[in-house]
C-alpha cells in the first residue's frame, strides 16, 4: 500500500513509500482511510529531523471505513465509519503520563496511509451527518475545544468566552460556546473572518490590527468585568492581554502557541485576580464521544477552509502555515 512519510526538514522531506498492508490483530480494526485534516502540530512534526531508522507517517486526524476486524472486536463491525483518537491509550478520566505517551502522527505513525490498523478501543464513530472531510476535523481541534469549554472548565449560558483567531480549535470553540448559550467575542486580524465568525455564532468581533490592545475592548464590551473564559491559541507575549481580558476568578485555556513557545506575563495580575491558567492538548476518548453527541444533537458542521488531495500534502501544509485558514485544512484520499 502507499503511505506518505516524513524524514524531517519540512515539506521537502515528504515522500511516498510502499509498505505492506497491515493485518488487524485480535482486537484491531483495519481502516481504509478516506480523509484527514491538518493541525499546526503537523508542521512541527514534518520539520523535525528524524534519527529513527524508519521514516514517520505524519498527521494524526483522519476518518475511514472498517474493511476488516479482528475476531475479538466488539465495538465496531465491517463497514462502520471511524476516526482514530489522538491518544490511543487515553480512554477516560484525568490524563496520565502513560496515557499520553502514544500519540498519532508522532511519535507513533499517523493516518496518511491507504490502510491503518487501529485498536478498537482507540476509535470513535463520528457524527453521521458530517461528511468524511468534516468528520476528519474532529479528533484534535474539536476535542481540544470541547475539553477547554466543558471538561476542564464548564461554560454556562450567559457567560462570556473570548476566542483568539479563526483556525481549527478557535472555530470549534466559537461554535460550541455559542451553542451552549455563551456570549462569544472573537479576536482576529481579519475583518472578513470576523464576519464569518459571527455566522458561526460569535456575538462580537475585535480586529486586533485596528485595536492591538484588544483586551481593553473586551473590558469595554463586558462593562469592565472581563471574560469568564479566554481560549488562547497564540501564546507568546500576547498572553499578557489574555490575563488582562479575564475576569477575577476566570479561566485562560492555553490551546496553542502560534505566536511563540514562550512569553512573559505579570504574575501579580494572576495572583491578585485569582486567575486559572490551564494548558490543553486534545482529550480522552470519552471527551471525543461527548463532542460527537453534542454535534449530532445540533447537526452543526465545522468550517472547512480548503481541501487538498493527499498527494498535495506539501501544498496543504504551506497553506496552513501561510494562508491563515478559517477553520480546518483537509486532505482527501483517492478511493475506488
State the CB neighbour count (10 A cutoff) for residue 216.
Answer: 14
Asked whether residue 147 is domain-assigned, the answer is no
Using a 10 angstrom Cβ sphere, with 0-12 exposed, 13-18 middle and 19 or more buried, the burial of residue 193 is: buried
For residues 196 and 233, state if they share a domain: yes
Residue 324, C-alpha cell as written in the block: 491563515
- The Cα–Cα gap between 165 and 324 comes to 9
CATH number at 292 reads: 3.90.180.10
Cell of 202: 460569535
314: in domain: yes
Distance CA 250, CA 236 (A): 20
| pLDDT score, position 336 | 44
CATH at residue 203: 3.40.50.720
Residues of the chain with pLDDT under 70: 49-53, 259, 335-336
Domain boundary among 236, 260, 279: 279
- Quick one: 241 and 161 in the same domain? yes
23-46 confidence digits (pLDDT tens): 999 999 999 999 999 999 999 999
Q: What is the pLDDT of residues 195-222, one digit of tens each?
A: 999 999 999 999 999 999 999 999 999 9
pLDDT per position as a tens digit, 301-324:
999 999 999 999 999 999 999 878
- Domain total for the chain? 2
pLDDT at 262: 77
Structural domain that includes position 54: 2-141+283-332
Residues 6+ apart with CB under 8 A from 280: 144, 147, 148, 152, 253, 254, 255
Q: Say whether both 157 and 50 belong to one domain.
A: no
Q: What is the pTM of this model?
A: 0.95
pLDDT at 267: 82
Based on the fold, state whether residues 43 and 135 are members of the same structural domain.
yes
Give the C-alpha separation, 324 to 157, whole Å. Answer: 30
- Cis peptide, bond prior to residue 107, ω within 30 of zero: yes
Domain shared by 159 and 239, yes or no: yes
The span from the CA of 148 to the CA of 230, in Å, is 9
9 and 137 share a domain? yes
Does residue 120 form part of some domain? yes
Q: In Å, how far are 185, 215, 323 from 210, measured between CA atoms? A: 16, 13, 20
Amino acid at each position: 500500500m502507499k503511505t506518505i512519510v516524513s524524514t524531517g526538514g519540512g515539506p521537502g522531506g515528504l515522500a511516498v513509500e510502499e509498505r505492506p498492508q497491515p493485518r488487524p490483530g485480535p482486537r484491531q480494526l483495519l481502516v481504509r482511510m478516506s480523509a484527514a485534516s491538518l493541525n499546526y502540530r503537523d508542521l512541527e512534526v514534518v520539520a523535525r529531523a528524524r534519527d529513527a531508522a524508519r521514516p514517520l507517517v505524519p498527521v494524526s486526524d483522519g476518518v475511514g471505513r472498517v474493511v476488516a476486524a479482528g475476531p475479538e472486536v466488539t465495538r465496531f463491525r465491517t463497514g462502520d465509519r471511524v476516526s482514530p483518537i489522538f491518544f490511543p491509550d487515553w480512554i477516560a478520566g484525568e490524563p496520565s503520563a502513560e496515557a499520553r505517551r502514544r500519540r498519532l502522527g508522532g511519535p507513533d505513525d499517523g493516518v496518511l496511509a491507504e490502510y491503518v490498523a487501529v485498536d478498537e478501543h482507540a476509535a470513535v464513530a463520528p457524527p453521521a451527518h458530517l461528511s468524511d472531510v468534516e468528520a476528519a476535523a474532529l479528533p484534535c481541534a474539536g476535542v481540544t475545544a470541547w475539553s477547554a469549554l466543558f471538561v476542564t472548565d464548564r461554560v454556562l449560558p450567559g457567560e462570556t468566552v473570548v476566542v483568539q483567531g479563526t483556525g481549527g480549535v478557535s472555530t470549534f470553540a466559537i461554535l460550541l460556546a455559542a451553542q451552549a448559550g455563551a456570549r462569544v467575542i472573537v479576536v482576529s486580524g481579519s475583518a472578513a473572518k470576523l464576519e464569518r465568525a459571527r455566522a458561526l455564532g460569535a456575538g462580537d468581533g475585535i480586529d486586533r490590527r485596528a485595536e492591538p490592545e484588544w483586551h481593553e475592548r473586551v473590558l469595554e464590551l463586558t462593562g469592565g468585568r472581563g471574560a469568564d473564559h479566554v481560549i488562547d491559541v497564540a501564546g507568546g507575549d500576547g498572553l499578557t492581554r489574555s490575563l488582562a481580558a479575564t475576569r477575577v476568578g476566570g479561566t485562560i485555556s492555553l490551546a496553542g502557541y502560534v505566536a511563540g513557545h514562550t512569553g512573559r506575563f505579570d504574575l501579580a495580575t494572576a495572583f491578585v485576580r485569582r486567575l486559572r491558567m490551564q494548558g490543553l492538548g486534545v482529550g480522552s476518548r470519552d471527551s471525543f464521544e461527548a463532542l460527537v453527541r453534542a454535534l449530532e444533537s445540533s447537526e452543526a458542521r465545522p468550517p472547512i477552509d480548503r481541501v487538498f488531495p493527499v498527494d498535495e500534502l506539501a501544498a496543504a501544509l504551506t497553506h496552513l502555515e501561510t494562508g491563515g485558514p478559517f477553520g480546518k485544512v483537509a486532505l482527501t484520499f483517492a478511493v475506488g
